[in-house]
């Protein structure tokens, strides 16, 4: 018997935060909200991890990229800060 993984992956149903709460809008100016969807290095968190739906992930990606271009968010995370 081949043990593929030491631990079973724990599955929790992830819900898209933007679908669950219509109140929050995706806006490139709102760096604080966008920051929640990036790693501390500044990478965009994939859908498979954050649970965001395809539609909102697309909007999110554009917003984060826009925020990056206007220096609201980093392209490369806080390497020097840490």
Partner 1 sequence: MKRYETLFIADPDLPEDTRTALFDRLRELITAGGGFIAAFDEWGLRKLAYIVKRKKRGYYALLDYCAAGKVVQELERVMRIDDRVIRFLTVVKDEDVNVDALREELERKAAQPEPEAELGEGAAKDAGDEESGVEDMDAEDDEEMEEEEN
* DSSP-assigned beta bridge partners for residue 22: none
Q: Select the residue interacting with partner 1 from 2, 12, 13, 54 (CB under 8 A).
A: 12
Q: Select the residue interacting with partner 1 from 45, 53, 59, 61 (CB under 8 A).
A: 45
Angstrom distance (rounded) from CA 16 to CA 14? 7
Q: Is 71 in the site for partner 1 (CB under 8 A)?
A: yes
Q: Is 47 in the site for partner 1 (CB under 8 A)?
A: no
Q: Is 53 in the site for partner 1 (CB under 8 A)?
A: no
């Amino acid at each position: 018997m081949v043990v593929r993984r030491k631990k079973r992956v724990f599955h929790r149903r992830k819900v898209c935060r933007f679908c669950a709460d219509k109140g929050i809008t995706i806006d490139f100016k709102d760096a604080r909200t966008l920051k929640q969807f990036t790693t501390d290095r500044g990478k965009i968190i994939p859908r498979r991890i954050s649970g965001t739906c395809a539609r909102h992930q697309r909007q999110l990606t554009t917003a984060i990229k826009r925020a990056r271009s206007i220096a609201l968010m980093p392209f490369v995370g806080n390497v020097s800060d840490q």
